[in-house]
Amino acid sequence: MPELPEVETVRRGLQPVMEGARILKVETRRPDLRFPFPENFAKRLSGRRILALGRRAKYLTASIEGGPLLICHLGMSGSFRIEDGEERSIPGDFHHERSRDAAHDHVVFHLAGQHGGKTRVVFNDPRRFGFMLFADDAGEHPMLSGLGVEPTGNALDGGLLAGLFAGKQAPLKAALLDQRLIAGLGNIYASEALWRAGLSPRRTAGTIASASGGPTARAERLATAIRSVVAAAIAAGGSTLRDYAQADGSLGYFQHSFSVYDREGEPCRKPDCNGLIRRIVQSGRSTFYCPVCQR
């Protein structure tokens, strides 16, 4: 479920605990997630220091000193949880000690911080669509190599977007979900970006480019919408991060108010638009949009 903003929020939440920490031990509580764990997964990480946590699209990465680049994907239901690593043996603390749904805790990283404090970072994933893999020595992996442009920063502008979509017959919604073009959008933010841009999810993607493949007003609007919706969601994640940090340490999902997603039948939030949000299915997945102001 996590799209780029959620993954970035997870990265920022894990960063203070993981960067610079030494991995004392790694527990894998089953042989696989979506894929089998790499050979010697725990052994190749144990005893090593985590240099940096990164993110590419919806992938989290951890560079390991003298070791491999760890690539993690949260799939649809993955989350991380930070726990105090000191063994607790307080009588009556049973409830606090147990996590909310330990049934799907699949990986536990036991860490020692630079000042000796111990923590555990627990990966939980009920559906097990998530995975953990190692990149090769050059930090490359087929899952990362084909990814398109990040919708953060300023790289994605109208000109670039028009070039990416020129000639495409696929509907805009499908083009936005194509990770080879733009990397990191998912089902929610694709719908949200199209609403912000006032463009129909059913519109042929190529129609936002000019005949020469150059930018148009529509392409500029969509590029701006994508960047702004992603930036706003990351900001929202950051604000909930502070709350979660004080609660139970779980990272992965945050409440966010959406303009169209999951609002079928409700009024469009665009001022003076009297449309009602409609739900359609594209490529087997729900799309939400306003048929009045999105054309």
Partner DNA sequence: ACATAGACCTGTTGGC
Partner DNA sequence: TGCCAACAGGTCTATG
DSSP 112-128: E-TTS-EEEEEEE-SS-
7-46 positions binding DNA, by CB under 7 A? 34
Among 187, 200, 250, 259, binds DNA (CB under 7 A): 187
Please say which residue, 60 or 290, places its beta carbon nearer to DNA. Answer: 60
39 counts as catalytic? no
Catalytic residue among 3, 6, 8, 192: 3
Please say which residue, 210 or 283, places its beta carbon nearer to DNA. Answer: 283
285 counts as catalytic? yes
- The number of C-alpha atoms within 13 Å of 249 and in the hemisphere containing its C-beta is 21
121-140 positions binding DNA, by CB under 7 A? 126-129
Q: Shortest CA distance to 125 belongs to which of 9, 39, 252?
A: 252
Binding track, positions 276-295, relative to DNA; x by CB under 7 A: ------xxxxx---------
Under DSSP, is residue 278 helix (H, G, I), strand (E, B) or coil? strand
* CB contact at 8 A, 49 and 34: no
Q: Would you count residue 79 as binding DNA (CB under 7 A)?
A: no
The single-letter code of the amino acid at 111 is L
Q: Would you count residue 256 as binding DNA (CB under 7 A)?
A: yes
Among 24, 52, 143, 234, binds DNA (CB under 7 A): 143
Neighbours of 161 (CB within 10 A): 29
Please say which residue, 82 or 177, places its beta carbon nearer to DNA. Answer: 177
| Backbone phi and psi for residue 56, each to the nearest 5 degrees, phi listed first | -135, 120
Please say which residue, 49 or 129, places its beta carbon nearer to DNA. Answer: 129
The single-letter code of the amino acid at 274 is N
Neighbours of 88 (CB within 10 A): 11
Catalytic residue among 55, 58, 81, 168: 58
| Backbone phi and psi for residue 147, each to the nearest 5 degrees, phi listed first | -75, 145
Catalytic residue among 22, 34, 269, 285: 285
* CB contact at 8 A, 26 and 105: no
Q: Would you count residue 169 as binding DNA (CB under 7 A)?
A: yes
Residues with a known catalytic role: 2-3, 58, 285
- Contact positions vs DNA (CB under 7 A): 1-3, 6, 34, 57-58, 73, 75-77, 103-104, 126-129, 143, 167-171, 174, 179, 186-188, 253-254, 256, 282-286
